[in-house]
């Protein structure tokens, strides 16, 4: 029997299907993310650059309030899918991206993975409230707000419009936001997104008529699994059967994935100079794969080939090179 090793690398950049948006809107954002773009930013502010790309691509990007929008960005991207381009920018500033309906939420890597959990928990709570109130929370509306808007006041306006109330609103710190707008998004999703930047979430009352602002629980935080801590089981062997691997990942920087695997498999990674000269940011190319019970070389092929790379193994040395280069 072949030995099995399960590798679950789950750092999400753009997981789809968090919010119940219409099929046409979902198709729109998916088409946009697959479209190819070229950008050159030399010293622009991150916030302005993100806003410019959102406007030019007709998409909505929500930058977490904890991210400094004035930090300068240096990046050159040529003829690259939008999703991959955003991933390169996010990775450069230690950010991750989560797709909520048709809104791309960009925030700190160490916290953004909590967001899908919080959204799911909030929606699960709604399953237990009366139907009339549930509909109010799930009603999707487009929103906009002017420059210097206060998020506490903004949330109050959203809830009041649905004849709902909020408790412990003073726990939302004072802040002033720039003008912005978002496409149709349910009230519950808007509420969770707004509070998330303050490290808060909402607790909906049993009757569904109000919500209480509460800190994000440590139990939610503990559900994150850092890539470096995902274990590879090492079963005891009586014979030298080949080991097989199972791996699921979506839109991850290939360099990060390969380096993590190399660390766990005790391999030494060498990136071919010709590859790095041709594609200076080769290690930031995003890859996805879903394989089960495959040998190591097939696993590496599944990760590298979508990026246009191939590998050679000699002992514990793993060399990554362009796929066009002859072995």
| Each residue's pLDDT tens digit, 260-309 | 788 778 788 899 888 888 788 888 888 888 888 888 899 999 899 888 88
Question: Cβ atoms within 10 A of the Cβ of 47, count?
Answer: 16
Please tell me the predicted confidence (pLDDT) of residue 218.
Answer: 52
The predicted-structure confidence for 199-218, as pLDDT tens digits, reads as follows 999 999 999 999 999 999 75
| Burial class (CB within 10 angstroms; exposed 0-12, middle 13-18, buried 19+) of 158 | middle
Non-local CB neighbours of 277 within 8 Å, separated by 6+ positions: none
Non-local CB neighbours of 124 within 8 Å, separated by 6+ positions: none
Question: Residue 298 pairs with which residues in a beta bridge?
Answer: none
**In terms of DSSP bridges, do strands 140-145 and 180-186 run parallel, antiparallel, or are they unpaired?**
antiparallel
Q: Which domains does the chain have, with CATH numbers?
A: 3-10+225-322 (3.55.50.30), 23-109 (3.55.50.30), 114-220 (no CATH)
Please tell me the predicted confidence (pLDDT) of residue 324.
Answer: 66
Nearest Cα to Cα of residue 73 among 51, 40, 104: 40
Lowest mean per-residue pLDDT among 56-60, 131-135, 143-147, 252-256? 252-256
Using 50, 70 and 90 to split pLDDT, how confident is the model at 176?
very high
How many contiguous H segments (helices) and E segments (strands) does the chain have? 12, 16
Compute the average pLDDT of residues 97-123: 89
Please tell me the predicted confidence (pLDDT) of residue 240.
Answer: 53
């Amino acid at each position: 029997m072949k030995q099995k090793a399960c590798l679950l690398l789950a750092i999400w950049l753009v997981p789809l299907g968090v919010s119940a948006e219409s099929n046409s809107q979902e198709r729109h954002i998916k088409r946009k993310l697959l479209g190819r773009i070229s950008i050159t930013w030399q010293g622009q502010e991150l916030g302005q650059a993100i806003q410019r790309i959102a406007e030019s691509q007709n998409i909505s990007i929500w930058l977490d309030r904890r991210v400094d929008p004035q930090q300068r960005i240096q990046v050159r991207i040529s003829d690259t899918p939008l999703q991959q381009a955003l991933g390169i920018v996010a990775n450069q500033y230690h950010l991750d991206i989560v797709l909520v309906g048709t809104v791309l939420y960009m925030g700190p890597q160490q916290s953004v993975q909590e967001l899908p959990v919080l959204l799911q928990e909030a929606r699960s709570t709604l399953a237990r409230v009366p139907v009339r109130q549930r509909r109010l929370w799930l009603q999707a509306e487009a929103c906009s707000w002017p420059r210097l808007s206060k998020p506490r006041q903004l949330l109050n306006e959203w809830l009041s419009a649905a004849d709902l109330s909020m408790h412990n609103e003073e726990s939302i710190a004072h802040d002033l936001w720039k003008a912005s707008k978002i496409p149709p998004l349910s009230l519950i999703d808007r509420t969770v997104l707004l509070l998330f930047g303050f490290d808060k979430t909402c607790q909906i009352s049993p009757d569904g008529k109000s919500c209480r602002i509460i800190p994000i629980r440590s139990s939610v935080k503990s559900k994150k699994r850092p890539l470096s801590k995902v274990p590879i089981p090492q079963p005891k062997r009586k014979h030298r059967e080949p080991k097989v691997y199972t791996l699921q990942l979506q839109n991850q920087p290939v360099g990060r994935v390969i380096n993590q695997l190399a660390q766990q498999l005790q391999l030494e990674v060498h990136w071919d100079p010709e590859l790095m000269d041709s594609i200076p940011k080769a290690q930031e190319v995003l890859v996805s794969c879903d394989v089960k019970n495959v040998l190591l070389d097939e696993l590496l092929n599944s990760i590298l080939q979508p990026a246009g790379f191939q590998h050679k193994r000699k002992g514990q040395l793993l060399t990554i090179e362009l796929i066009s280069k002859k072995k």
